[in-house]
Structure 1
Amino acid sequence: MDTILDAIQEGRLFELPENDKWHALQFLAHIIEAFPETTAGTDVVGLVAKREEATNTAIGKGWACPHARLSYEEDLMCVIGWSPKGIDYGAPDGIPVSLVVMYMVPDNQRNHYLREVSILAKTIDAQPGLEKLCQAKNLDDVRHYLLDLVETAKGAVGPDARAKMIRLQTRETLEKFSFRDLSNLICEPVTLVAAAGSALHIALTQNGELAERLDSASDVIEKMAAVGVYQTGDWRLLRRATVNYPGGRVTYDCLAIKIAKDNSRGGK
């Protein structure tokens, strides 16, 4: 479960903005698409959706582990989404999903991924109940729950698996870290307003630089209508909802995300 620990330490634990299953998966997949490690143009949303349509990825007791398999070599990584109210995920046990751990699984990490999910499933199954997860009121509570789970996994797995997880630290050490919500991910709500038969549109956002980019983008409305995703510079725009008005007017409720450059950590 070292990948989950990495996600906690690096600020990849998020409160999901919606309780809809597909919106949650789309939100997390777009975050993975924004990772520097993800090859440009990789359709993580499509890969996750295809896998989910084939097999429900809920593993029980309020957890789901969707993933995207990628045809290149990289580290195994994940992003974690927490739903305070729970998501109707269609889980076999009927329990709403509170934690969605979405994995990015490169070709060279498939065995690592299978081992980690196997350990995770066994650890969750061994937990006495869902009370602590259901009682979580904020991301700090969720972090403590996950750290407890990691500690349980360290004590429950066999010697070989424990050797592979040697870099995991104790909970007491981890709690000395200063965690930052959203870490270096920047999220900006955006509303696009357009009219039928006109090339003109207006981008409403508090981010001036982003507004200028979108106002000058001649193809943004076409892309929003067709695929719901638009890339401009480091920003990725994700369509969340569309509202049509009389006279051919339409608004697109969007979320713009990008990974801010972190000069404090060296790249690969």
Structure 2
Amino acid sequence: MDSLLDALQEGRLIELPDNDKLDALQFLAHIIEAIPSLPPGTDVAGLILAKEQTSQTSLGMGWACPDARVPFDEDLICVVGWSPQGVNYGAPDGIPVSIIAMYLVPENQRNHYLREVSLLAKALTVYPGVKGLRAVKELNEIRDYLLDLITSTKETVGPDSRARMIRLQARPTLESLPAGDLSNLIIEPVTLVGAPGLKPIVLTQNAGLAQRLDATVGLLEKIEAEGVCQTGGWRVSKRGKVAYQHGRFTYDCLAITTSGVGRK
């Protein structure tokens, strides 16, 4: 389960802010959307929510594995959300979901993804501590729990994976790691309104973000040309564009930061 290990190693294990299913899925999807290697405008949240309407992504026993399949080549990407209270996910076994392992599945990673989820499902059947998931109270305990779960399926633990897990177990607690800032990720929806000869209009509930974007020179040009704009600690990514009469248009964007500059 290399992608799950990658998520632990790269700080993509995050405590979910609440136990609402829709909010949890959107939160994790937006984290994937913020990964710089993804093409601008990749609507992970839309893909995830559309699939949830037609598929059951719960594995049971407090786990769910939603996935977004995309038509380009990239690494298989996983982000893991932990809910201390448990998310009312509508799982067939009725158990609230504590772990949501969300995957971005590129075209060239379909088989890799199927193997990983198959191994994960197998691990859940053989791991003796699987029923203790709801008793875990700290994020670092969840990290250790996941490492133990991975080792319970011998096929997943080759020499390289074993070495990576040893390094993970030797790392300091998540609170002292820079990657731990992901648990304080700030995600703001933004609408940018443009028209010929007029200054861009920024629509957002975050006053500090609005002020920052108002002062950003060439904001619309950067969003149009590159699909993303970095400014003042914020990463603004374009999700979509709607054109109107007389050359007017709007950009639907997400603004993401992991630092205190984004707090209202």
- TM-score past 0.5 threshold: yes
SS in 2 for 1:169: helix
Match of 1:187 among 185, 188, 201: 185
Q: Give the aligned partner of residue 176 of structure 1.
A: 170
- TM-superposed deviation, 1:259: 6.5
Could you tell me how far apart the structure 2 residues matched to 1:33 and 1:130 are? 30
> For each residue in 1:51-87, what CA deviation from the matched residue of structure 2 results, as whole angstroms up to 9, or x when unmatched?
1111010001000000100111111110000000001
Tell me the SS of whatever aligns to 1:14.
strand
| 2:27 is equivalent to residue 33 of structure 1 | no
Contact 1:237 1:256 in 2 (8 A): no
Q: Which amino acid aligns with 1:81?
A: G
Question: Which stretches in structure 1 are left out of the alignment for 5+ residues?
Answer: 193-198, 218-230, 239-254, 261-268
State how 1:226-245 maps to structure 2 within 5 Å: 233=230, 234-235=235-236
The alignment of Structure 1 onto Structure 2 pairs a total of residues equal to 216
Provide Cα deviations, 1:10-39, integer angstroms capped at 9, x if missing partner.
000000011110110000001100011211
Q: Does 1:95 align with 2:95?
A: yes
Q: TM-score, normalised to structure 2's length? A: 0.71
Structure 2 counterpart of 1:44 = 44
Following TM superposition, by how much is the alpha carbon of 1:125 offset from its aligned partner in structure 2, in angstroms?
A: 1.6
Q: Is residue 257 from structure 1 mapped to residue 256 from structure 2 by the alignment?
A: yes
> How far, CA to CA, are the matches of 1:136 and 1:99 in structure 2?
11
Distance of 1:64 and 1:202 partners within structure 2: 32
CA distance in 1 between partners of 2:202 and 2:42 (Å): 30
Kept in 1: contact 2:11–2:179 (CA 8 A): yes
Task: Measure the CA separation in 1 of the matches of 2:110 and 2:142.
Answer: 27
Tell whether the 8 Å contact from 1:10 to 1:183 is kept in structure 2 after alignment: no
Tell me if the contact between 2:202 and 2:210 (Cα under 8 Å) persists in the aligned partners. Answer: no
User: Is the CA contact (8 Å cut-off) linking 2:40 and 2:238 kept in structure 1?
Assistant: no
> Cα–Cα, structure 1 residues 214 and 167, in superposed 2: closer, same or farther, change >3 Å?
same
Aligned-residue RMSD, C-alpha:
3.1
Counterpart of 1:77 in structure 2 is 77
User: Structure 1 residue 177: deviation in Å?
Assistant: 2.4
Q: Structure 2 matches for 1:176-215, cutoff 5 A?
A: 176-178=170-172, 179=174, 180=177, 182-183=179-180, 185=182, 187-188=185-186, 203-204=205-206, 208=208, 210-214=209-213
Tell me, yes or no, if the aligned pair for 1:34 and 1:259 is still in contact at 8 Å.
no
In the alignment, structure 2 segments of 5+ residues that lack a partner are 191-200, 217-227, 240-253, 260-264
8 Å contact kept, 1:78–1:101: yes
Give the structure 2 partner of residue 150 of structure 1.
150
The answer to which structure has the higher helix fraction is 2
Stretches of 4+ aligned residues off by more than 3 angstroms: 128-131, 170-173, 181-186, 188-192, 199-205, 214-217, 235-238
